[in-house]
Every structure is written in structure tokens, then in C-alpha cells.
Amino acid sequence: MSVTTTTARNSRGIQTEGRTPEELRELVSHWGAELERAPAEVIIEWAAATFGERFCVTSSMGDAALAHLASTVVPGI
């Protein structure tokens, strides 16, 4: 497991409720850099744990790969 993957898994669930849009942008900017080389599954795990019910995945009907992957990582998404 890479350092990035370990860091991402250990940092899931960061409190985002009540943060300002600017704080959320900074959070995403920081973690975007941290997760740049992480496997897609780890990124999805982090996003679901961090944003909870506010996390969603959208895609066109022509490209459902991301939606399928997200549904295997976070059943019921």
C-alpha cells in the first residue's frame, strides 16, 4: 500500500458539516493533491467518508464506469 493510500485511508471522515465554501475548497484542494496518485477506490472511500450523505456520483448513460465503481465501494450510493 502506498503512502498516499495509507494517508487517505487514515484521514477519512474529516468533519465538513458547517464549513464555509472557502474552507471546503481548501479541503478539496489539499486532499486533491494528496490523493492524486491514489487508486480510484481509495478516493471514493475518502469522499464518501468525508462528505457522507452529501457525496454523490453523476455520469452520462454512455459512461457508467465511475458510477459502477462507486457502487461497489459504497453500496447504495
Higher pLDDT, 54 or 42: 42
Compare 67 and 3 and report the one with higher pLDDT: 67
Using the predicted structure, report yes or no on whether residue 34 has a pLDDT greater than 70: yes
Q: What pLDDT is recorded for position 53?
A: 79
* Confidence band of 72 (pLDDT split at 50, 70, 90): very high
Distance CA 19, CA 73 (A): 26
Q: How far is CA 32 from CA 13, 28, 61, 62, 63, in A?
A: 15, 6, 26, 26, 23
